[in-house]
Amino acid sequence: MNISQASMKSGLPPKTIRYYEEIGLLKADRRMNGYRDYSDRDVRRLHFLHRARDLGFSVDECRQLLSLYDDENRESAEVKALAEAKLQDIEQRIAELTSLKKALHHLVAHCHGDNRPDCPIIEGLAGNQVFCEKVFG
Amino acid sequence: MNISQASMKSGLPPKTIRYYEEIGLLKADRRMNGYRDYSDRDVRRLHFLHRARDLGFSVDECRQLLSLYDDENRESAEVKALAEAKLQDIEQRIAELTSLKKALHHLVAHCHGDNRPDCPIIEGLAGNQVFCEKVFG
DNA sequence: CTTGAGCTTCCAGTGACAGGAAGGTTTATT
DNA sequence: AATAAACCTTCCTGTCACTGGAAGCTCAAG
């Protein structure tokens, strides 16, 4: 099937599919006319990539996952290790964002938000000690 | 002072400071020899940028914040609006990551992780309906 | 036969820098 | 005074994972 069919079935834009081919992630057969030709198996693998990317795996991690996907003799422990590492990444990012959120929330909560110029958010960003102590405790 | 002094005081790498100048965020005076020359005020503004970036504001948002920082007649409501929008962004990102985490955690939890090849993570990524229903309920 | 959709490749741009090369300046040591 | 080390400059490239667009094929329909 043509690339647009593969795109619809896998959920990946054609541009992305070509890009994956360019970086050697998933190469397609070619027809006489030069058009790419995707099999059902290709589509399954594209779909797999789509979901793995959506789950936060980098393209390089997807490369590993795909080779495990293709490997009939894989050990599930290897897959699990990858997934657990990614889980840790995600938890780390959540923790970082949560502390950002807290800090910003503190600042926002202390800003009266009217037409006067004095603003604890600006002071907080400036690193004004007095304001920071007031705001962050 | 030279760029490395400004770097140490503001916490931004020299490369970043030059980049900020290149994109018109904060331009520095020049000495006879072509070296950049930073005042204490410049350092305060660099420091401000550093904290704003750390709090998750994009460079363009930092541009707005910096002009508000410089504006003696700013209205704190304007700053607050920016900060609240950013707060929403952050909450959105946390929500997305949290749902990622859930999905991945489900997959990981159901993988026995031994030397056998059958693996709910791989099946889940492949979109295998049977496995997905088992794993995600 | 023409029109329009679909396919191809290639080039440029995104955000926010980081790394490194080539070369000028300043400072410290010998 | 010579030299070496450290610091500064600009410019170019690379990162990550695409996205947009241009120029030029091919294909299906009317």
A1-20 pLDDT per residue, tens: 999 999 999 999 999 999 99
Is residue A99 a contact partner of residue A136, using CB atoms and an 8 Å limit?
A: no
The predicted structure's pLDDT at residue B127: 77
Interface test with A, best of B9, B66, B122 (most A CBs within 10 A): B122
Burial of A97: CB neighbours in 10 Å, binned 0-12, 13-18, 19+: buried
- The residue-averaged pLDDT of B24-48 equals 95
- Cα–Cα distance for residue pair A4/B71, rounded to 1 Å: 52
pTM of the predicted model as reported, rounded to 2 decimal places: 0.85
Kindly state the tokens that stand for B69.
């920082």
Cβ distance A119 to B65 less than 8 Å, yes or no, reads: no
Nucleotides on chain D that have an atom closer than 7 A to a protein CB are 7-10, 16-20, 26-27
Q: Domains, chain A, ranges and CATH?
A: 3-74 (1.10.1660.10)
| CB A19 under 7 Å to nucleic chain C | no
Q: Sorting pLDDT into bands at 50, 70 and 90, what band is B8? A: very high
**Gap between the terminal Cα atoms of chain A:** 63
Query: pLDDT tier at B128 (50, 70, 90 boundaries)?
Result: low
Percentage above 90 pLDDT, chain B = 72
For residue B131, the model assigns a pLDDT of 47
Q: Model confidence at B132, in pLDDT bands (50, 70, 90)?
A: low
Task: Report pLDDT digits (tens) over B76-100.
Answer: 999 999 999 999 999 999 999 998 8
Q: Which residues of chain A have pLDDT under 50?
A: 130-131, 133-135, 137
Q: How many CB atoms lie within 10 A of CB A35?
A: 12
